[in-house]
Amino acid sequence: MAISHIILVGSLLLLISILAGKTSYRFGVPTLILFLAVGMLAGSEGLLKINFDSPIIAQFIGIVALNVILFSGGLDTRWDAVKPIMYKGGILASLGVFITAGSVGLFTYYLLDFTLIEALLLGAIVSSTDAAAVFSILRSNNVNLKHGIRPMLELESGSNDPMAYFLTTLFTGIVVAQDFDAASSILQLIMQISIGAIAGFVLGKLSKSLINRIELDFEGLYPVLGIALSFIIYSLTEVLYGNGFLAVYISSVILGNSKLIRKNSLRQFFDGFAWLMQIILFLTLGLLVFPSHIVPNIITGLAVALFLIFVARPLSVFISLMFFKVPFKSKVFISWVGLRGAVPIVFATFPIVAGLEKAELIFNIVFIVTLVSIMLQGTTIVKMAKWLSVEDTSVKMLKKARAFEFSDESKTESAEVILKKNSPGVGQKLYELKLPKNTLVVMIIRNDNYFVPEGSTQLEANDTLQLISAKKEDLDWVVENIG
C-alpha cells in the first residue's frame, strides 16, 4: 500500500471508532469493545482484509499506549481521595494479583492439557484489572460511589499492571528456560517494585521542578514536554531494572497533586491523548486477531472467563480486604468491577514473541476472557452500583464544569488552584486574599460540589479554585502565594 493509502485507511478507522464510540452507550455497549470490533472488521478476515500479523509491533504499541494511559490516569488521581484507601488499593494490586493468577492457573491446569507453569502463565496474564477499561468506564458513566470505592478501583487498576507484568515475564522465562529459582524470583520482584517506586517518586519530583522552572517560548510545547518526561521515566526505570509502569504511575500522581502552573492544560491534553492511544491500541489488537482461530476456543475461553469473574476475582478481593472494615456489598461491587481489557491481550503477546508452544492458544483464550469481561461486567456497572446500594446519589458529579475556554480575542487567562492543608489561603475569606487587579475566583469546587463564591466565603483545605485573569503573570502569583 502507498503511504497515502495507509494514512487514509488509518484515519478512517480512527473516525469510524470515534463515531461508533459516540453512540455505543445508547445501546449499553462499552466504547472499548467498539474499537476492538472495528479493528477485527478491518483485519485479514474482515471487510478490508488488512493483513497484520506482528505480535512484536502490537506489543510495542501496547507498551507505549499503556504508558500514556497510566500517566493520564495518575494526573487525574487526587491524593486526598487515594490516601485513606492507599493500603487497601495497594494490597488489591499486589496480593490480589497473586491470588487471581494462582486460582486461574490451578483451574486451567485441571481444565486443559497445560503444564502447571503454562497454566500459571495464563493466570498471570489475566490477573490484573485494566486501567484503560476501568478509567474510561467509571469516568464516562460519571457515577459517584460510597466508601471510597472509586479511588480504590482506580488506584488498583493503575498500580496492579506491574505485578502482572512481572509474573507474566517470570513464567514466560521459566517456560523458555525450563528452570525456576524461587529465591532469585522473589529478589527480582522486590528489586523491580522497589526501584520502580523510588524512581517514580524521584523522577516525579524532578519533573515537577522542570515543568515549573523551564520557560518555553510556546505554550503548546508543555504537553510535548510531558510526553517526553513520561517516556523517559518509563525507559530509564526499565534500564535500572525497575518496573517502568509503576514508576510512570507514581510520578504522574505526584505531578497531578503538585503545584503545577500548567496542570490543567496537561490534564486536558493527556486526557485526549490517552483516548487516542486507547483507540490505536484496541484497533491494533483487533487487527491482530484471527476470528477463525478464536471460534474453536470459545467454550474453553468462556469457562476461564466465568471462573475468573465469579470465583477468582471475588476470592482475591475478599481475602485482600479481610483485615479492613469494608462493607460486604462494597466488596461484592469491587469484585464485579474487575474489568479485563487491553492489558491482558498485550501481555498475551509475550508468549508469542518468546515462541512458546501454546502461545496462540493462550492468546485466543485471553482474548475471549477480555471480551466476556467487558461485555458482561462493563455493561452492568451502573446497574450493579444501584442494586448493591453503593452509588452515592447525595453528590452530583459535574466533571464538565472543570473545562472552560475563552476565545483568542478575549485575552483572558484561566487556571485551577488546589489548596493544600498548609496553603496560605486556607482559613481566609475570599475578600482577604488581596488578589491582583482583574483576577477573579469564578468558582470553587468543594467535596465535588461546585458553587460560585462570595466575598465572605471562607476557603478550606482541598478546595479547588477556578480563576480567570487578564494576565497570566497574575495567575502565577496566585499559585505561588495562595495555592
Q: State yes or no: pLDDT of 394 exceeds 60.
A: no
> How far is it, in rounded angstroms, from Cα 293 to Cα 55?
15
Q: State yes or no: pLDDT of 230 exceeds 60.
A: yes
In words, the CATH class of domain 12-387 is mainly alpha
> How far is it, in rounded angstroms, from Cα 448 to Cα 426?
18
> How far is it, in rounded angstroms, from Cα 342 to Cα 65?
10
Least confidently predicted of 67-71, 183-187, 281-285: 183-187
Q: Which position has the higher pLDDT, 350 or 262? A: 350
What is residue 416's predicted lDDT score, i.e. its pLDDT? 76
**Same fold yes or no, 12-387 and 404-481:** no
Which residue, among 167, 159, 189, 156, has the nearest Cα to 317 in the 3D structure? 156
Q: State yes or no: pLDDT of 224 exceeds 70.
A: yes
Q: State yes or no: pLDDT of 325 exceeds 80.
A: yes
C-alpha cell of residue 251: 510520578
- Tens-digit pLDDT profile for residues 412-443: 677 778 888 888 888 888 878 778 877 888 88
What is the pTM (predicted TM-score) of this model? 0.75
Which residue, among 423, 438, 75, 384, has the nearest Cα to 255 in the 3D structure? 75
> What is 404-481's CATH topology?
Alpha-Beta Plaits (3.30.70)
User: Mean of the per-residue pLDDT values for the chain?
Assistant: 83
First to last CA, the chain: 54
Q: State yes or no: pLDDT of 76 exceeds 70.
A: yes
Domain ranges of the chain: 12-387, 404-481
